[in-house]
């Protein structure tokens, strides 16, 4: 049997729908006050539902809501390791990861975001491979599986056959700066992951700045502005390409948040899920404008979790406009979504138009 560890960050991703862009430190208290609900139970549940080799896995799990609660009575032979209090911290993750390392686990699964990845690195460095179930808000690091199902597929392969490994980057994202509309990141370290084609995401590419890129963004913005419909609410996702639209309209937009314009005037800034729903109730007709993350291709599920499954279902695929510079789109083999809801992911997948310039479109496929 393969001895595999599992550690879950129970608060990972809770800041997404309420627009807080993370849950590091004391910010989780603000997320709870705003009505944030845990997202990891569904993520871990989806991961476990795709594990095919339970009889060949001996699972070492963190106690309670850090692991045990999700796997008991699921058919695994397991052992609970370590102790935790009611309020869990990064130190719990580090301590339990070290205990699992001492117990000679062959691979460590963790569920969380970039902050959890940093904690795991602090504890184990490059000593054993990891599989990361993406459950945070941003997840710009390249250690994460594409989605929970992909994480399970990696485990199935790892159990059944010898797999090569590779080192993947962990990015240290300054959440305070991120909430202040500044993307400040640096390389924090590396973790070893199984090398399995097309199941691990890439790191986020920085937006390139140059005359031709800026001209391209200007052309995209021109196209969007000319085709905007009167009486329609436009929900603008994060990023410099989307921000070029408001720049031309002489509107101040949050770089890393979701903002709303109606009849080319700002009606909502740095919105969370509730703020978006209130505006949709008021204006009835709405569209989303988003740009995929460079290097990764995620349209939804990374850095814009204010667009929840509830909102995406309400607006539907026909009311989503995807934009991206020609250079960015050429570097992506496909687009991806990881909304946390399989039904919505399926609704979004397939061929889509992407606006790449003035009266220029590209057909790109969205895969789950």
Residue 178's pLDDT is 64
Q: What is the pTM of this model?
A: 0.76
- Tens digit of pLDDT for each residue in 317-330? 999 999 999 999 98
pLDDT at 180 over 90: no
- pLDDT confidence of residue 109: 98
Helix axis angle for 114-124 and 90-102, nearest 10°, is 40
Res 206: pLDDT: 60
pLDDT higher than threshold 70 for residue 332: yes
Q: Which of 1, 12, 13, 197 is nearest to 107 (CA)?
A: 1
Q: Report the C-alpha gap between 70 and 67 in whole angstroms.
A: 6
Whether the predicted pLDDT of 362 surpasses 70: yes
Instruction: Give, as one character, the DSSP assignment of residue 140.
Output: -
Strands 350-357 and 320-323: parallel
Is it the case that residue 47 has pLDDT exceeding 90?
yes
pLDDT per position as a tens digit, 77-102: 999 999 999 889 999 999 999 999 99
Structure tokens at 132: 């990361």
Is pLDDT above 70 for 233?
yes
Answer with the residue of higher pLDDT: 293 or 30.
293
| Residues constituting the chain | 368
- Residue 205 to residues 169, 200, 327: CA-CA distances in angstroms? 12, 15, 12
**pLDDT number for residue 28:** 66
Please check whether residue 334 is in contact with residue 366, taking contact to mean a CB–CB distance below 8 angstroms. Answer: yes
Beta strand pairing call for 77-80 and 107-112: unpaired
- Tell me how far CA of residue 181 lies from CA of 118, 221, 259, in angstroms: 22, 20, 12
């Amino acid at each position: 049997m393969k001895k595999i560890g599992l550690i879950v960050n129970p608060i990972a991703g809770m800041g997404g729908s309420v627009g807080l862009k993370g849950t590091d430190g004391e910010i989780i208290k603000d997320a709870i006050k705003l009505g944030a609900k845990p997202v990891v139970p569904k993520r871990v549940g989806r991961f476990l539902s795709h594990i095919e080799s339970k009889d060949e896995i001996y699972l070492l799990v963190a106690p309670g809501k850090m692991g045990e609660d999700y796997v008991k009575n699921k058919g695994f032979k397991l052992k609970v390791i370590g102790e935790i209090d009611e309020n869990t911290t990064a130190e719990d993750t580090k301590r339990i990861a070290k205990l699992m390392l001492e117990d000679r686990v062959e691979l460590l699964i963790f569920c969380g975001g970039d902050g959890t990845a940093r904690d795991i690195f602090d504890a184990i460095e490059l000593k054993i491979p990891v599989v990361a179930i993406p459950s945070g808000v941003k997840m710009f690091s390249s250690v994460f599986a594409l989605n929970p199902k992909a994480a399970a597929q990696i485990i199935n392969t790892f159990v059944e056959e010898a797999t090569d490994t590779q080192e993947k980057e962990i990015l240290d994202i300054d959440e305070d700066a991120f909430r202040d509309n500044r993307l400040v990141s640096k390389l924090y370290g590396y973790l070893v992951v199984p090398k399995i084609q097309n199941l691990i995401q890439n790191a986020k590419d920085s937006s390139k700045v140059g005359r031709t890129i800026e001209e391209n963004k200007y052309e995209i913005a021109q196209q969007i502005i000319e085709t905007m419909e009167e009486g329609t609410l436009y929900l603008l996702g994060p990023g410099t390409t989307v921000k070029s639209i408001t720049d031309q309209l002489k509107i101040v937009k949050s770089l890393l948040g979701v903002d709303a314009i109606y009849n080319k005037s700002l009606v909502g800034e740095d919105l969370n899920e509730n703020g978006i729903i209130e505006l949709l109730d008021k204006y009835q007709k709405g569209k989303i404008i988003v740009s995929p993350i460079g290097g990764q291709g995620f349209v939804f599920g990374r850095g814009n979790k204010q667009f929840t499954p509830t909102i995406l279902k309400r607006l539907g695929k026909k009311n989503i406009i995807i934009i991206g510079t020609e250079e960015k789109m050429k570097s992506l083999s496909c687009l991806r979504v990881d909304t946390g809801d399989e039904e919505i992911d399926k609704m979004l997948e397939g061929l889509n138009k992407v606006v790449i310039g003035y009266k220029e479109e590209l057909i790109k496929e969205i895969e789950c």
